[in-house]
Amino acid sequence: MSKETILVVDDEPHIVELAALYLRNDGYQVVTASDGEQALAQIATAHPALLILDLMLPEIDGWEVCRRVRATSRLPIIMLTARSDDVDKIVGLELGADDYLTKPFNPRELVARVKAVLRRFGPPPAQPGEVLQAGPLTIDPGRREARLNGQLLDLRAKEFDLLRVLVEHKGMVLSREQLLDLAWGFDFYGETRTVDVHIAHLRQSLGAGPLAIETVWSVGYKLVAE
């Protein structure tokens, strides 16, 4: 079973080839880009689970790519920098990067950091054919069916996507921004109020019982099942 898709962005071909080789050997799917414009395009089309981003890029540099991604998404980012200067690392982390590596780097360490960052962001999405379960609720992502106690739920498209995300992260508190990222996509420009409206509809569909979407005040929502 293949793992998540990783986007590697660097204008040095040998760096890209080395990173891609080790990531693929570990089971990840890899897409690549050599400049900032290509990186943003790949994010929009490939929907990677994690971004490995060189800071010194042509066209649009890595700092600007990071800034644009963070404006709309919590896509995990590992920065690559050719300089050991702490200022680069600090600026990158302040812009929202999740980790960094200084070039030249050990490709095995890069793979280890990818795994560590992805673990912090929760379990991977369900694979095609995999059925998710939370108490009496089952979700078949391939068929786009949700059943409660065996009864098919009548859900709108985004209600289904939102419920799937909550089940995938069962017991974890997710902010409205995270739910927008995961259910709507990083390029969604709507308001977080959209999440509240869909949560209200989902609660009506689930009704009273052992399965509930709890509000964690000032944080977000989580799905709990007795």
pLDDT at 83: 66
More confident residue, 71 or 9: 9
Q: pLDDT tens, 49-69?
A: 999 999 888 888 888 998 898
By DSSP bridging, strand 137-140 and strand 132-134 are antiparallel
In the chain, the domains with their CATH numbers are: 5-120 (3.40.50.2300), 132-225 (1.10.10.10)
Going by pLDDT thresholds of 50, 70 and 90, the confidence category of residue 89 is low
pLDDT at 188: 47
pLDDT at 187: 44
φ/ψ of residue 9, rounded to 5: -120, 115
Q: Mean per-residue pLDDT for 177-184? A: 80
More confident residue, 71 or 13: 13
pLDDT higher than threshold 70 for residue 217: yes
By DSSP bridging, strand 50-54 and strand 77-81 are parallel
Identity of the amino acid at 207: G
Strands (E), 45-165: 50-54, 77-81, 99-102, 132-134, 137-140, 145-148, 151-152
